Amino acid sequence: MGQRRIVSGSRILITGASQGIGKALAEAAAARGAKVLVCARKLDLLAELAQQIRAKGGVIETAHADITSADDRRGMVEAAQKAFGGLDILVNNAGIGATGHFADCSAERLRQIMEVNFFGLTETTRAFLPMLKQGNKPAIVNISSIAGKRGIPARSEYSASKFAVQGFSEALRAELAKDGVDVLVVCPGLTQTNFSHNMIEQKALVQMDHMRGMSPEEVAAQTIKAIEKGYNETCLTLNGKLMVFVSRFLPWVADIIVKRKVRGLFKDEMEARQAKKLPQADRIHAS
């Protein structure tokens, strides 16, 4: 457990805040009385969000930023200093994804996912560490995924990036204990956002129905709760929690389930490949 804190009055920066979970988080934090700095690549959506929050009496500033850019990361630090004189809570929310089997995808796609989901997150954290160490009950909040607790077929690259975030967060939590900086991880499951529409590519035979998941507002509420209570790790959705439980205590069961699913999807391909391997006599007998 980390420190308990009050969101009201806290200075919070949220990356990837133009839509989805990031947007809902900005709205929830501002409604609680936080001073919010939102960053994203889509400046028009940030401006719209800022207008909505200010109309309700909230305090919000915006910064146009791509977390993969060193110049933009420095710009975010300068924006936080200028707007609020520092920072208390950094929410690393920006992320991208893609679907499709690893063997069918390019090296460039993997590098792009890792560049945003892992390197962008870690380097944004690095940029803000000096400022956070001077903050009031400071915290780094990394928005990961259930896919960072259990690898999901056809989402191997995304899963790998979130596993990396998980390992980084656990190590950093111990390293920063001496500085009083908490490192919290939130792992959403399926969430009703445009994430699937914003993917680099979609090559999976079966697409996940994100509309069956939690709303962004529910994820935001759970994230705010985790920040206030100082929960080191928060896994969301019943199915997500069940997946994490089975993967941790019955990993062989999880392996059987996902393998059976993949084999079912590729049944015809597997049978055709097996038929090619059979000797002529066996093919006649098999038919």
Structure tokens at 186: 């939130």
Judge contact between 54 and 60, C-beta under 8 A: yes
Residue 231 bears catalytic tag? no
Query: Closest Cα partner for 120 from 59, 183, 151, 164?
Result: 164
| Bridge partner residues of 64 (DSSP) | 40
Please report how many Cα atoms fall inside a 13 Å half-sphere around the Cα of residue 268, on the Cβ side.
1
Please report how many Cα atoms fall inside a 13 Å half-sphere around the Cα of residue 171, on the Cβ side.
7
Q: For the packed helices 20-31 and 43-55, what is the interaxial angle rounded to 10 degrees?
A: 30
Query: Closest Cα partner for 118 from 149, 140, 96?
Result: 96
* Alpha carbon distance 243, 146 (integer Å): 8
Structure tokens at 43: 């400046």
Q: Single out the catalytic residue among 128, 158, 163, 195.
A: 158
Which residues are part of the catalytic machinery? Answer: 158
